[in-house]
Structure 1
Amino acid sequence: MNRSHIFLLCLLLLISLLNFAASQDDATIMQSLKSSLKLTSDVDWSNPNPCKWAFVHCDESNRVTRIQLIQKGIQGTLPPYFGKLSELMVLELFSNKISGSIPDLSGLTHLQTLNLQDNLFNSTPKNLFSGMNSLQEVYLDNPPNMKIMRG
């Protein structure tokens, strides 16, 4: 093998390892989400692989691209590093009982749809939309008890 072939092989191996590490990060974040929520019986998240969970979709690299938990009666909070799901394109959690602060979501650079309305959130970060260059649809409530942090 000549040097260019070895370099190409090393580059492909590195890309493969980076994709694997990123998908493992997604799995860790999703396990944290599972731990922070009280799921109802119709939300089956028993498989160790979040890509096989109900209402969760992944791409061919096992990166989470969609979470659509709509009207499931889910309670709990969103973990602080939830915004690290960098390949997430659709986040629909509307009509549940999720409470606490909306975490920093600035790492969701591919997010196109954000629907968090009809929950019990009490505050948003000042940089809620920072980094969301692909965002096309946003649905949020502004209940009397929600504080919008200003920068």
Structure 2
Amino acid sequence: MAHLYLLSIFLSLLLSISPSLSSNSEGNALHALRSRLSDPTNALQSWDPALVNPCTWFHVVCDSNNHVTRLDLGNSNISGTLGPELGQLKHLKYLELYRNDIGGKIPKELGNLKNLVSMDMYGNRFEGEIPKSFAKLKSLIFLRLNNNKLSGSIPRELTTLKELKVFDVSNNDLCGTIPVDGPFASFPMESFVNNRLNGPELKGLVPYDFGC
């Protein structure tokens, strides 16, 4: 009986610390993000790496299992770049980075965020191409990348995102043609204005990226 009692205690302890262990890896990812950012107004002051659980940090929301599900840093006056560590936030549903001064390329590792519902990164200085890895975000409903400095063409792989309802890449430096398959059949032209795009593709023809 004593052995069974000790075993039950051990299992209880293991269950109690497992969420913290998971959150610790997510906390490490968020702290790595913080190290890449300039934060003149101390929006990230509470992001203390000494704390095991990042769920106590401002701008971070977690679920009942202490997994990070939301990152709210919109309009926070931060600058810098993003890194691949963000792809470790496997339970993230909302990535809100809009209206800041974040630049550099968008990490392809964001395509690992399989539970992502909304990605709002408009109003920054992101450059380079839209990652093709975003095609793995099958739960994505909102994707707003407008008002950046993105270039290249719109990845055709994004036409497989059946849940995508809002897509905005206006005010960038994108080129080529606009896809018409999948969810792109319903996006308004306002989602694409102020680029170097050449209008919608013709059904049944191989897309050609003019000027890319």
TM-score by length of 2: 0.59
How far apart are residue 11 of structure 1 and its match?
7.3
- The yes-or-no answer on 1:74 pairing with 2:78 is yes
Structure 1: stretches of 5+ with no match in the other structure: none
Match of 1:125 among 110, 122, 131: 131
Q: Which has the larger radius of gyration?
A: 2
Measure the CA separation in 2 of the matches of 1:128 and 1:25.
23
How far apart are residue 17 of structure 1 and its match?
5.4
1:134 paired residue number? 139
- The yes-or-no answer on 1:112 pairing with 2:128 is no
State the superposition RMSD in angstroms: 3.0
Measure the CA separation in 1 of the matches of 2:98 and 2:153.
19
1:33 paired residue number? 33
Aligned residue type for 1:140: L
How many residues align? The count is 150
Q: How does 1:15-54 map to 2 (within 5 A)?
A: 18-48=18-48, 49=51, 50-54=54-58
| Relative contact order, higher structure (CA 8 A, sep 6+) | 1
- Whether the 8 Å CA contact 2:38–2:79 is kept in 1: the answer is yes
Q: How does 1:85-100 map to 2 (within 5 A)?
A: 85-100=89-104
Q: Secondary structure at the match of 2:26?
A: helix
Measure the CA separation in 1 of the matches of 2:45 and 2:105.
23
TM-score by length of 1: 0.79
Normalized per residue, the structure richer in helix is 2
Measure the CA separation in 1 of the matches of 2:43 and 2:71.
12
Structure 2: stretches of 5+ with no match in the other structure: 158-212
How far apart are residue 101 of structure 1 and its match?
1.0
- Whether the 8 Å CA contact 2:32–2:85 is kept in 1: the answer is no
Q: 1:54 to 1:147 in 2, by over 3 A?
A: farther
- Deviation string 1:107-150 (CA, Å, 9 cap, x unpaired) is 211111110111111123221231x2221111112755534585
